[in-house]
């Protein structure tokens, strides 16, 4: 029996919003500020995490790569990443020509170990990418202190942690730039999608250029850029999902007991093969109750 890790919670509202994009026939926009729904989505995200700005892009990987470009990370630079994360964290560093240097993680929450981080800083180190893995916020106070001492930039990989907080502050908002993914298995999804949050106006402007072929507001090509734009169809789904985020998070809270329940059921199952189906059915029922 296959139990899906995450089934996107899509209903009439997303369908209605995507249908209206199709009827309006503005499927995407190459304007500096992005399409109507892209901007609405950015507004909802920045309001939720309490950042000044949000820039939507087409994936979490694009968010990381755009952030590295915005901080002028390049060949010859080293970027510190945790040794345990999704491969996109290190790939984005390679993609801009820099070298990912791996930092050990802590057993207690699988995030970057500040002690090992200190040991891995060299003359070439330019930035740190802590990852808030599985929703666990990395030890940002210690990481920020080390970054300040060594004049390093921080990009938070908050792809898996939209809605996680430490001392009341949202993941992704502790540092210069915070990156989120809206891939299908994430807390909220637009199928594919990503975003960067920041309080720095200058970085926000740079990111908007980078996502749109390096074009400035007056359509001049002023820097290296790519096509990292989020389409209006994806933004329509992302916008509705953002509105439901608080609800999703409270429902996830009610599912905290699922792993313990599953362990108990597996004990029964090991002793009696007939329990196999019951284990599956009960788990699905609980997921359903937790989600709906």
Ligand X SMILES: Cc1ncc(COP(=O)(O)O)c(C=O)c1O
Q: Which stretch binds ligand X (CB under 6 A): 142-150, 157-165, 167-175, 209-217?
A: 157-165
Q: Which stretch binds ligand X (CB under 6 A): 53-61, 216-224, 245-253, 256-264?
A: 53-61
Instruction: Give the span between the Cα atoms of 291 and 247, in whole angstroms.
Output: 10
Coil, strand or helix at 181: strand
Q: Which long-range contacts (CB under 8 A, 24 or more apart) does 39-45 make?
A: 40/235, 40/239, 41/195, 41/230, 41/235, 41/238, 41/239, 41/242, 42/195, 44/239, 44/242, 44/243, 45/180, 45/195, 45/197, 45/242
Interface with ligand X, residue 171, by CB under 6 A: no
Number of residues that bind ligand X (CB under 6 A): 14
As measured in angstroms, the least distance from the Cβ of 70 to ligand X is 17
As measured in angstroms, the least distance from the Cβ of 185 to ligand X is 7
Q: Which stretch binds ligand X (CB under 6 A): 84-92, 108-116, 218-226, 241-249?
A: 84-92
Cα angle value 231/67/215 (rounded, 5°): 60
For 83, which DSSP code? S
Interface with ligand X, residue 159, by CB under 6 A: yes
The contact pattern for ligand X, residues 13-52, with x = CB under 6 A and - = no contact, is ----------------------------------------
Binders in 244-283 for ligand X, by CB under 6 A: none
Instruction: Give the span between the Cα atoms of 95 and 283, in whole angstroms.
Output: 41
CB 225 within 8 A of CB 210: yes
Q: Which stretch binds ligand X (CB under 6 A): 15-23, 65-73, 85-93, 230-238?
A: 85-93
Question: Which H or E element spans position 202?
Answer: helix 201-210
Interface with ligand X, residue 156, by CB under 6 A: no
In the set 61, 171, 198, 215, which binds ligand X (CB under 6 A)?
61
What residues form DSSP beta bridges with 102? 81
Interface with ligand X, residue 234, by CB under 6 A: no
Interface with ligand X, residue 188, by CB under 6 A: no
Q: Which is nearer to ligand X, 160 or 173 (CB)?
A: 160
Cα angle value 43/48/54 (rounded, 5°): 40
Residue least distant from ligand X (Cβ): 60
In the set 29, 46, 59, 171, which binds ligand X (CB under 6 A)?
59
In the set 79, 157, 198, 238, which binds ligand X (CB under 6 A)?
157
Interface with ligand X, residue 88, by CB under 6 A: yes
Cα angle value 133/136/137 (rounded, 5°): 100
CB 21 within 8 A of CB 190: no
Residues found near ligand X in the complex (CB under 6 A)? 59-61, 85-86, 88-89, 131, 157, 159-160, 181, 183, 194
């Amino acid at each position: 029996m296959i139990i899906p890790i995450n089934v996107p919670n899509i209903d009439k509202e997303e369908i209605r919003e995507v249908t209206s994009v199709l009827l309006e026939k503005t499927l995407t926009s190459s304007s500096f500020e992005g399409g109507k729904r892209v901007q609405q989505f950015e507004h909802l995200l920045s309001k939720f995490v309490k950042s000044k700005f949000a820039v939507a892009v087409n994936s979490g990987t694009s968010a990381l790569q755009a952030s590295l470009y915005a901080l002028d990370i390049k060949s010859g630079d080293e970027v510190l990443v945790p040794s345990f994360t999704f491969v996109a964290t290190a790939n984005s560093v390679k993609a801009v020509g820099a070298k990912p240097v791996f930092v050990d993680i802590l057993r207690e929450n699988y995030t970057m170990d500040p002690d090992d981080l200190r040991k891995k800083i060299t003359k070439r180190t330019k930035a740190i990418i802590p990852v808030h893995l599985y929703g666990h916020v990395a030890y940002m106070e210690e990481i920020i202190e080390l970054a300040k001492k060594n004049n390093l930039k921080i990009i938070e990989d908050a792809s898996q942690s939209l809605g996680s907080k430490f001392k009341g502050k949202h993941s992704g908002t502790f540092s210069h730039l915070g990156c989120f993914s809206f891939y299908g298995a994430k807390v909220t999804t637009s199928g594919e999608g990503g975003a960067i949050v920041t309080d720095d106006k200058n970085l926000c402007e740079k990111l908007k250029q980078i996502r749109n072929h390096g074009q400035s507001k007056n359509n001049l090509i002023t820097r290296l850029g790519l096509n990292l734009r989020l389409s209006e169809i994806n933004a329509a789904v992302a916008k509705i999902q953002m509105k439901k985020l608080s609800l999703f998070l409270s429902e996830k809270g009610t599912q905290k007991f699922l792993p313990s329940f599953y362990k108990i059921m597996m004990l029964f199952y090991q002793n009696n093969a007939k329990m196999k189906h019951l284990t599956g059915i009960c788990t699905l029922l609980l997921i359903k109750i937790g989600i709906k």
